[in-house]
Amino acid sequence: MALSGTQSIMDASPRTGVAKAYAALSVAIVLGSYVINAMDRTLFPLILPEVRGEYGFDLPEAGLMATVFTIGMALAGLPSGYLLTRFTRRFVVQLGIFIFSAATVVTVLAAGFGDMLAYRAITGIGEAMQLTALLAIVSSYFARYPGVGIGAVNCAFGLGAVFGPLLGATLLAVYGTWRAPMIAFGIIGFAIVVSVFLVHRTVILVLLSCIAGLAIFGFLGMYPTYLREELHFTPANTGTIMSVYGLGVLVSVAGGFLGDRYPARPVLAASFLVAAIIGWLLFNGPVDFMTQAVLAFAFGVVFSGAIYVNLAACHVRAVKGELSGLASGIFVTSFYTAASVAGYSIGWLAAEFGWTFAGDLQLCAACLVGILLAIALRPDGMSLSAARRA
């Protein structure tokens, strides 16, 4: 993991275009990771009475337990700085969050004062690594205004201080044990470790997958109702149109070939552009049977045969081979989470504002946003083929 000539976006100050937008998103994510640390720092003093009651700590011992993490931070500060000279900032952030989260979870297994004190001190070591790298990241990004960058870090702590006690108190009340919020916050930290590695390459793909899920299942779930109740098509004609949509999906292999042959950014941007046009025509164009059948076929080709296929493939291309399964899971979760509310959302929009507005918003306007997100994809974040990934 030693530094090479090419560092991650977190390790260099961005300059222009897509790299600048991508770097801003990256910085926002690592700032968000610091919120979790702050949540724990405000949580433990809150649950300290329950911990004291179970372990029998006196007040001085409890006070030491609440602040001993600072010893870990003090001891790890300089070594963390040394690590930054040998490894990437992102790696140091990930390692720090992992250590912090693991020690947080293990705290619930403590047998007594000594080992719990050690676990709480180790959380400080993890936080020192994370904070040291984070300060370097924001100082580099906010090169002209380093005070603003440091202020942003402190604001992240403030957010954690706001939400940590509220969430911690809720979990404590619901589960009746101080261990519940500790475990929950530790698990969130582990999720952040994965996110810091993956999300910088896949967050745009996650958003695109959500847009695709809303559009595709908005169509599949409610378009037949639109045909029957708004356009007064017979059940037979509606069934035929939806079958024609299925024919369009059969071009999926060709759609996948385009994604393998050409870079993801133009393929997805062009696909979402055509999809936006189709989405608009479905609810604003001619309403005769033949036109709707052609549009349904085109929907199958573009939305399902091109967008769905290439988004799934891009998620896998965006990570190293050993993480492809996790990337696939992220695609499935993001796509079908959005799909789960797609029918309700387009139905609510249609009931409140009419079918035209509903289709324009959920199928057309959403795809216009998709174009911008696709353009923002980093071209160096994905390979064009499995051979190049190898």
Q: What is the mean pLDDT of residues 297-302?
A: 94
3-state secondary structure of 282: helix
Q: Which two tokens stand for residue 340?
A: 């789960």
pLDDT band at 230 (very low <50, low <70, confident <90, very high): very high
| Cα 124 to Cα 343: distance, rounded to the nearest angstrom | 47
Q: What is the mean pLDDT of residues 150-173?
A: 88
60: buried, middle or exposed (CB in 10 Å: 19+, 13-18, 0-12)? exposed
Q: Which residues pair with 2 in a beta bridge?
A: 87
Q: Are 156 and 34 in contact (CB under 8 A)?
A: yes
What is the Cβ-side half-sphere exposure of residue 198, based on CA atoms within 13 angstroms? 25
pLDDT value at residue 384: 42
| Cα 50 to Cα 222: distance, rounded to the nearest angstrom | 52
- 386 vs 177, residue with greater confidence: 177
What does the DSSP assignment read for 183-205? Answer: HHHHHHHHHHHHHHHHHHHHHHH
- 100 vs 18, residue with greater confidence: 100
| Cα 303 to Cα 212: distance, rounded to the nearest angstrom | 7
| Cα 276 to Cα 370: distance, rounded to the nearest angstrom | 9
Q: What is the mean pLDDT of residues 229-237?
A: 94
């919120």: which residue's tokens? 35
Q: Where in the chain is the domain with CATH 1.20.1250.20?
A: 9-177, 201-389
Please provide the average confidence, as pLDDT, over all residues in the chain.
85
- Condensed to tens digits (0 to 9), the pLDDT of residues 179-192 reads 998 998 888 888 77
Report percent pLDDT > 90 for the chain: 49
pLDDT band at 84 (very low <50, low <70, confident <90, very high): confident
């910088």: which residue's tokens? 200
| Cα 174 to Cα 168: distance, rounded to the nearest angstrom | 10
- Condensed to tens digits (0 to 9), the pLDDT of residues 19-41 reads 566 667 677 777 877 888 888 88
3-state secondary structure of 174: helix
- Condensed to tens digits (0 to 9), the pLDDT of residues 258-287 reads 888 888 889 999 999 999 999 999 999 899
Name, of 69-83, 182-196, 318-332, the range with top average pLDDT.
69-83
Report percent pLDDT > 70 for the chain: 86
- Condensed to tens digits (0 to 9), the pLDDT of residues 342-376 reads 999 999 999 999 999 999 999 999 999 999 888 87
- 1 vs 150, residue with greater confidence: 150
Rounded to a whole number of angstroms, the distance between the first and last alpha carbons of the chain is 18
pTM assigned to the model? 0.59
| Cα 296 to Cα 220: distance, rounded to the nearest angstrom | 10
Q: Which two tokens stand for residue 342?
A: 């797609």
Q: Which two tokens stand for residue 107?
A: 């705290």
Nearest to 198 by CA among 83, 317, 373: 317
Angle subtended by helix axes 264-284 and 179-225, to nearest 10: 50
Angle at 218 between CA 217 and CA 219, to 5 degrees: 85
Question: Is CATH 3.40.50.300 the classification given to domain 9-177?
Answer: no
pLDDT value at residue 118: 95
Q: Which two tokens stand for residue 296?
A: 């349904």
Topology of domain 201-389 in CATH is Growth Hormone; Chain: A; (1.20.1250)
Q: Which residues pair with 87 in a beta bridge?
A: 2
